[in-house]
Structure 1
Amino acid sequence: MSEFDNVTAAPPPPSGAAPQEDRTLALIAHLLGIISWFVGPLIIWLISKDNPAKSFVTDQSKEALNFQITITIAFVVAFILMAVTLGLLFFLPALVGIANLVFCILGGIKANNGEAYRYPFALRLIK
């Protein structure tokens, strides 16, 4: 197993059923990524990370935070490619934005149902 596999491999989801309050906070963590980028999931993760009873919220907010960090990197790369090609790849930032919107909504729906959602492509930098 390479070092890169450790960064991209999804951690196992927490076990047990999450209460409605935790599912709602996890939903908010995923959906705040659309509006506030990485700030919303970061705040929810910082609030819940020290409370062992909030393991579902901690896991999902960490997953949302890692995805927003990945999206930020993708936006930077998309804008650089757009600038280097003199606007020929003008659609790349829009594609990244649409992917962010779709995957955040999917994550929010799954989290609200009590399922631990794993984004299909996310650098898991926050462990």
Structure 2
Amino acid sequence: MTTQTETNNAFLIHISAFASYVFPLGGIIVPLIFWQLKKDESAFLDMHGKEAVNFNLSFLLYSFVFGLSVFSTSFFDFPNFFGIFGGVSIVVIIAIIRFILILQAAIKANRNEPYRYPLTIEFIK
């Protein structure tokens, strides 16, 4: 049986990914620290912590690769498929999707439900 404290902590682990808006890599470091502190308290917190950290690491990797592809096509191969403004708009769309997925995971955690982020690489098993 999962307690209200555990569901609140799982909620906070997911929400802590918004620290990336405050400082670089905050979306990875803060959930990782919070998960490390809470993972031994319950399997529920361990599962949600791994999901949050894996998602944010995957998102960082995808953003890096996409950023390199947009940068290389935008500045070296005019005309291109994205163009500068197309690349920026796709980055904004991806950021909005990330925001929605984090909120969705936090709500599921607060409702005591398991959640798996889509397209997440399992760095931590």
Are positions 1:26 and 2:10 aligned together? yes
Equivalence for 1:63: 51
Number of equivalences: 109
Q: Helix, strand or coil for the counterpart of 2:113?
A: coil
Amino acid at match of 1:65: V
Superposed CA deviations along residues 40-78 of structure 1, whole A, max 9, x for unmatched, are 2101221123x2x42111110110000000110111022
The gaps in structure 1 that reach 5 residues or longer are 1-16
| TM-score (ref. length: structure 2) | 0.80
CA contact (8 A) 1:33 1:41 kept: yes
Q: Rg larger in 1 or in 2? A: 2
Are positions 1:114 and 2:112 aligned together? yes
Q: Share of identical aligned residues, percent?
A: 26
4+ residue runs over 3 A deviation: none
| TM-score (ref. length: structure 1) | 0.79
Q: Helix, strand or coil for the counterpart of 1:33?
A: helix
CA RMSD of aligned residues (A): 1.3
Cα deviation for residue 101 of structure 1 reads: 0.3
CA contact (8 A) 1:41 1:62 kept: no
The gaps in structure 2 that reach 5 residues or longer are 20-25, 75-83
- The 5-angstrom pairing of residues 63-102 of structure 1 reads 63-86=51-74, 87=84, 88-102=86-100
